[in-house]
Each structure stands twice: as structure tokens, then as C-alpha cells.
């Protein structure tokens, strides 16, 4: 059973991600302790709410540096929802804040003509095969967001999209970094299957 550190920076319902990872077969620990995080087999950065407030909380707690250090070790690293968006360089939601910048590009508001936020189940289309999305092409997952990664500038790292006023980035992958706009912890059986894929990736670390 791999140990997975869920980064605790005091924003949102982080415990729901921890509990979902436990159900997927991990020893999941909600923590801000650098030693615990650095010894884990994998690391998860969840997030809900506002981009600016989340990045401020990350930096205030020092979790930003710990997250970057964890990525540099090559261990599996998962960003969820706002946790995904924080990995990019910046966001239209909070233009005066810089993201972690480990993924290229910008987070932009969802297109005109659709309800914001997208708060619904939506099916994903796997654009690039990856073990993280094994068995999930066409599956329905739960989304709650008004902003998403800019598809036009991030095409090479986009591994899945959903349809919402056009193609919207649902998941990205770059080396050991994987991130989802959907909430696997709220996505029933398909979300559990996704987290089991992530847990499996962590077992070899």
C-alpha cells in the first residue's frame, strides 16, 4: 500500500481527496509536514475556490516550495481542479498572482455562451493514451469550474478533453505531473478507477 501525501494548506475540503485515495487503496495522509511529504510515494495537490486565494495560501504555508521539490524528485504528482490550475503560470481569474509555473500557459475563463461555472457530470475524451486514464475514455466525471487551461497553447500536454461550448481541457500530463480539471473524489466509480490508476503509479516509487 503506497503512502500518498495530500498537501494541507488550509483551503477547501481537502479531506475528501484523502478519503477517496484511501478507498482507492492508498495510505493517504493529509499533511503539511515536509518530512512526511518527501518520504511519500506520491503527492496530491487538491484545491477549490479562487486561484489567487489558493496560491496565497500555498505560499503562506510554504507548501509551494514543498510541492515544487516533490515534483523535482520525479514521484507521481497529481493536481486536482484548482490544484491543477495552480501548476500553470497564471490565471485570468487572478491576474496579479503567479502560479507555480511547472506547466506552460495560462488558465482562461470558459467560453461565452455557456453557464459558468460548469457544475455537472461530463464525459471525457482521451486524446493521448496514458495509464492514468486507462479505461476512462467516454466515462462521466464531475466538474465544478469557471476557468480551464488554454487548449490552444497546451495541446502537447493535454491528454483528455470534455465538451462544454467547445473542447475544454479535462486532464494534462507532463512527465511525472498529472492534473485533472474534474474532481475524481466526487466522480463515483469512474473517479475511483482514476484514483486507483494513480495509486498504481505510486506503487513503484
DSSP string covering 95-106: TT-B---SS-SE
Is 183 annotated in the active site? Answer: yes
| pLDDT exceeds 70 at position 122 | yes
Per DSSP, the three-state class of 23 is helix
The predicted structure's pLDDT at residue 14: 87
Backbone φ and ψ for 126, nearest 5 degrees, come out as -80, 115
CB atoms within 10 A of CB 9: 24
At residue 53, the pLDDT reads 96
Residue range 29-55: mean pLDDT, rounded: 96
Residue 191 confidence (pLDDT):
98
Active site residue 112: no
Task: Kindly give the residue spans of alpha helices, DSSP state H, lying in the chain.
Answer: 14-23, 34-39, 51-61, 63-72, 82-85, 188-203
| Region 139-162 average pLDDT | 94
Mean pLDDT, all residues of the chain: 96
Question: How many other C-beta atoms are found inside a 10 Å radius of the C-beta of residue 75?
Answer: 20
User: Out of 54, 93, 162, 183, which one is annotated catalytic?
Assistant: 183
Residue 152: predicted pLDDT? 86
Three-class secondary structure of residue 151 per DSSP = helix
Catalytic residue status for 202: no
**Catalytic one of 81, 145, 162, 202:** 81
| β-strands 158-163, 167-174 pairing | antiparallel
Give every CB contact of residue 79 below 8 A, 6+ residues apart in sequence.
44, 45, 47, 85, 86, 87, 177, 178, 179, 180
pLDDT band at 205 (very low <50, low <70, confident <90, very high): low
Catalytic residue among 54, 145, 185, 202: 185
Strand pairing category for 77-80 and 42-45 = parallel
Whether pLDDT at 155 is above 90:
no
Amino acid at each position: 500500500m503506497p503512502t500518498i501525501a495530500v498537501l494541507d494548506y488550509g483551503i477547501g475540503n481537502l479531506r475528501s481527496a484523502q478519503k477517496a485515495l484511501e478507498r482507492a487503496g492508498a495510505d493517504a495522509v493529509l499533511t503539511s509536514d515536509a518530512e512526511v511529504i518527501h518520504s511519500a510515494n506520491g503527492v496530491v495537490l487538491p484545491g477549490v475556490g479562487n486561484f489567487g486565494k489558493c496560491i496565497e495560501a500555498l505560499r503562506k504555508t510554504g507548501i509551494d516550495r514543498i510541492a515544487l521539490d516533490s515534483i523535482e524528485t520525479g514521484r507521481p504528482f497529481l493536481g486536482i481542479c484548482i490544484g491543477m490550475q495552480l501548476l500553470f503560470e497564471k490565471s485570468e481569474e487572478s491576474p496579479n498572482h503567479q502560479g507555480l509555473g511547472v506547466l506552460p500557459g495560462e488558465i482562461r475563463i470558459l467560453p461565452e455562451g455557456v453557464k459558468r461555472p460548469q457544475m455537472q457530470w461530463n464525459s471525457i475524451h482521451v486524446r493521448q493514451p496514458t495509464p492514468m486514464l486507462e479505461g476512462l475514455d467516454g466515462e462521466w466525471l464531475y466538474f465544478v469550474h469557471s476557468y480551464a487551461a488554454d487548449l490552444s497553447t497546451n495541446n502537447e500536454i493535454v491528454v483528455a478533453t470534455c465538451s462544454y461550448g467547445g473542447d475544454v481541457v479535462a486532464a494534462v500530463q507532463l512527465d511525472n505531473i498529472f492534473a485533472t480539471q474534474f474532481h475524481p473524489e466526487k466522480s463515483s466509480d469512474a473517479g475511483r478507477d482514476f484514483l486507483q490508476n494513480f495509486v498504481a503509479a505510486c506503487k513503484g516509487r
